[in-house]
Amino acid sequence: MRTKKEIEYLLKAIDAFQRRLIVLSPDYEILAANIPIDELPDMETKGNFCYQYFYDRSSPCENCAVMAVKETLSPSLCPKPGSYIIGGHMPCFYAYPIVNGDRVEAYVSMDFQLPSVGMLEEKLRHTNSLLENLLLSAVDCVIAADMKGSIFLFNASAENVFGHSKEEAKNSINVRDIYPGDGARQVMKLLRSDDFGGKGRLTTYRTNALTKSGEEIPISLNASVVYEEGKEVATVGFFHDLRDRLRIQKELEDTQVQLLQAEKMASLGKLAAGVAHQINNPLGGITLFAKLMLEEYTLEKGAEEDLHRILRDAERARNTVKELLEFTRQTRHLMQPNNINEALTRTLFLLENQTLFQNIKLQKEFQPDLPPVSSDAQQLYHLMMNIILNAAQAMDGNGILHIKTHYLEKQDRVCIVISDTGPGIPEKALPHIFEPFFTTKDEGKGTGLGLSLAYNIVESHGGRMSAKNNPEKGASFIIELPSATNSQKGDERE
Ligand SMILES: Nc1ncnc2c1ncn2[C@@H]1O[C@H](COP(=O)(O)OP(=O)(O)OP(=O)(O)O)[C@@H](O)[C@H]1O
Ligand SMILES: [Mg+2]
C-alpha cells in the first residue's frame, strides 16, 4: 500500500508532466486529467467525452490510440488525429490500459512529440551514405554480393585493381568471376568453416584474383558472411592487392643475392691475386731453365719433346695466371668513351677467321647511334671474347650466333644480348656459372675463369650481367653498361 505521502507525490508528478495526460473510461469519458477537471474550461457546453471535448466530434477519432489499446489490450502509439508535422516532429498519442483483475477499468492517454518518420528516414539516409562513402573510398577493394553472387557494392579501388567499372560489376559479372578456377567455391567453403577466423569469417587469406583482362593477381582477402535473423544474406570481401609488396620483396631478395655474389667475388679475387703472384715466379724459373736446356744441350728426341711439353704447359699456366690477375684487376685500366658496336665488330673480326667459327651463322642486330660507354677497350674485348667463345664452344662450332645491341633510354644504359642455339646452360649450373673455376668442360679444356672475369669487368664498369636459357634453344647473356654520360653522373654523385 502506498502511503499518503507517496500518493501525494505521484499526483504532483502527474500534474507536473509537461504534456496532457488524461484517464478515460472504456467509452471515452474523461475521468481525470493532469489539469483538474473543474479547471478544464466549459466542460458542460463541450460534453465530457474526449472526442467531444477536444475534437468537437460526435464519435471517437479513427486513429485513436485508446481504440488501438481496446483492440489489442496492449500499449499503443498513434498519430494525433488531424495532426501535421511541425519542425520535424510528429504529435502523437500514447495510450495504455489500467487493468483491475481481468477487467480493463480505464485507459490512460497522453500526447507526445516524436521525431517524424521523414526525419528518421533522413537520418538513416545520412548514416547510410556516410557508411557507403567509407566503403567506397576505402584503400582496399571492397566487393559485396548477395548469396547468388550478384554484386551490389564495388568500390573505386576495386574498379582500379579489377578493371571493371562499377556498373559492369553490378550488371554483367558474378562475384565468382573475380576468382580463377573454382576459387570462389573454395572461399565460400573456408568462410563456412570454423577454422579461419570463426564461422562466417575469413582473415588474411592469400589467394589469386582475376582481373577483367584475365591477369591473375595475388591478393590477401578478409571476408565475411552477412547474416539476417540467422540466414546468410550476403558476403563482403576486402581485397588487398599484393603485387607491389611482392615486387619489393623480390627486389630486396635479388639485391641481397647480388651483394652476396659481389662479396664472394671480392674475397675470392684477393685470394686469387696472392696465389697468382706466388705462381708467377716459379713459372718464370721453369720456362727459363727449360729454354736453356733446349738451347745449350744436345738432347735425345724424346727428351726434347718432353721439354717442349713442359714449355707448353708452363705457357698455359702463365695464361691462367694472367687471367687471374685480370680477374682481380691488378692491371691498370684506361677508361675512355667507347662505342659498343665498334668494340663488338673488332672482337668478331678477330674470332670470325678461327676454325671454330667456320660453320657458325652470325646475325648482327646493332642499334645505330648508340651512346658511348665509358670503358677500358682492352677489357671490353676480353668481356665480349669470353662470352662469344663460350657460345661458339657450346654450339660445338655449329649454329646461329645472334648479337643484339640497343639503348635502354629510361635507365640510360647500353644493352648487349648475345644468344646462341647451343644446348643451353644446365639448370643446376645456372646459379654457379659466374663463380671462378666453375666449368663443365673436360679437365684441361676450360679453367672456369672466363665468365667470372667477364662478371668482374661488367661490375667494375658499373653495369650488370645475367644469363638465361632461351625458351626455344640455347642460352642468352645480357649485359647492361651505363652510357658515358650516365657513369659521369654516377661519378659526380660519388
Ligand atoms: N653459351 C653457353 N651455353 C651453355 N653453357 C655455357 C655457355 N656459356 C657458359 N656456359 C657454362 O658456364 C661454364 C662457365 O663458363 P666460363 O667461361 O666461366 O668457363 P669455361 O668456358 O668452362 O672455361 P674458360 O672460359 O675459363 O676456358 C661453362 O663451363 C659452361 O658450362
Ligand atoms: Mg669460357
Read off the pLDDT of residues 309-364 as tens digits, 9 standing for 90 and up. 999 999 888 877 876 676 565 455 688 999 999 999 988 877 887 889 999 999 99
Q: Alpha-carbon dihedral of residues 276, 282, 285, 286, nearest 10 degrees?
A: -90
Domain shared by 201 and 187, yes or no? yes
Question: Residue 252 maps to which CATH number?
Answer: 1.10.287
CATH number of the domain enclosing 374: 3.30.565.10
Q: Where is the domain boundary, 180, 208, 241?
A: 241
Same domain, 341 and 488: yes
Give CA torsion, residues 463, 469, 474, 478, to 10 deg.
-10
Can you tell me the distance from the alpha carbon of 482 to that of 494, in angstroms, rounded to the nearest whole number?
15
| pLDDT, position 47 | 67
CB atoms inside a 10 Å sphere around CB 262: 13
Q: In this structure, which residue's CA is closest to atom 19 in ligand 1?
A: 448
Task: Provide the pLDDT for residue 492.
Answer: 47
Q: Would the CB of 394 count as within 6 Å of ligand 1?
A: yes
What is the whole-number distance in angstroms between the Cα of residue 128 and the centre of ligand 2? 71
Atom of ligand 1 nearest to the CA of 448: 19
What is the model's pLDDT at position 43? Answer: 63
Is any ligand 1 atom within 6 A of the Cβ of residue 379?
no
Residue numbers of the chain with a pLDDT score lower than 50: 330, 490, 492-494
**Cα atoms in the Cβ-side hemisphere of radius 13 Å centred on 154:** 25
Ligand nearest to the CA of 446: 1
Please report how the helices 301-327 and 243-296 are oriented relative to each other, as an axis angle in degrees rounded to 10: 150
Question: How far apart are the two ends of the chain, measured CA to CA in Å?
Answer: 98
Rounded to whole angstroms, the Cα distance separating 431 from 455 reads 13
Residues paired with 238 in a beta bridge: 142, 222
CA dist 167 → 142, 150, 153, 178, 472 (Å) = 15, 12, 10, 15, 44
Q: How far apart are CA 126 and CA 454, in angstroms?
A: 69
Task: Indicate whether 133 and 53 sit together in one domain.
Answer: no
**Strand pairing category for 413-419 and 336-338:** unpaired
- Tell me the C-alpha to C-alpha distance, in Å, between residue 196 and each of 180, 192, 340, 399, 455: 21, 9, 58, 57, 49
Q: Is 465 in the pocket of ligand 1 (CB under 6 A)?
A: no
User: How many helical (H) and strand (E) elements, i.e. helices and strands, does the chain have?
Assistant: 14, 17
Q: Cα–Cα–Cα angle for 7, 76, 78, nearest 5°?
A: 115
Q: How many residues does the chain have?
A: 494
146 in the same domain as 90: no
Pair 386, 418: CB distance under 8 Å = no
How many Å apart are CA 64 and CA 51, to the nearest integer? 10
Question: Which residue's C-alpha comes closest to atom 28 of ligand 1?
Answer: 439
CATH code of residue 212: 3.30.450.20
Helix axes 450-460, 377-394, angle to 10 degrees: 140
Pocket test of ligand 1: the residue of 327, 395, 439, 442 to mutate, having most ligand atoms within 8 Å of its CB, is 439
- Which three cell numbers, joined as nine digits, stand for 280? 708467377
**Does one domain contain both 353 and 492?**
yes
For the Cβ of 64 lying below 6 angstroms from any atom of ligand 1, the answer is no
Residue nearest to atom 7 of ligand 1 (CA): 390
Ligand 1, atom 25, residue with closest C-alpha? 450
Q: Which residues are within 8 A (CB) of 177 and not within 5 positions of it... i.e. 6 or more apart?
A: 210
Helix (H, G, I), strand (E, B) or coil at 140: coil
Q: Are residue 298 and residue 362 in the same domain, yes or no?
A: no
Q: Give residue 98's pLDDT.
A: 92
Task: Determine if ligand 1 sits within 6 Å of the CB of residue 421.
Answer: no
Distance CA 104, CA 95 (A): 13
Number of domains in the chain: 4
Please indicate, yes or no, whether residues 85 and 36 belong to a single structural domain of this protein.
yes
229: left (phi over 0), alpha (psi -120 to 50) or beta: left
Query: DSSP assignment, residue 442?
Result: P
Residues 382, 475, single domain; the answer is yes
Residues 184, 149 share a domain: yes
Please give the residue range of the domain that contains residue 84. 4-115
86 close to 71: Cβ distance less than 8 angstroms: no
Q: Cell triple for residue 374?
A: 665509358
Grid cell at residue 419: 644468344
* pTM value surpassing 0.75: no
Separation of alpha carbons 219 and 239, rounded Å: 6
- 369, 489: one domain: yes
Distance 439 CA to ligand 1 centre (A): 6
For residue 42, give the C-alpha cell. Answer: 466549459
Provide the strand spans (E) within 264-386.
336-338, 360-366, 373-375
CA-to-CA distance for 72 and 79, rounded, in angstroms?
17
CB distance 374 to 337 below 8 Å: yes
Instruction: Answer yes or no: is the C-beta of 429 below 6 A from any ligand 1 atom.
Output: yes
On whether both 310 and 166 belong to a single domain, the answer is no
Q: Which of 415, 429, 423, 372 is nearest to 393 (CA)?
A: 423
Whether the CB-CB separation of 397 and 421 falls below 8 Å is answered with: no
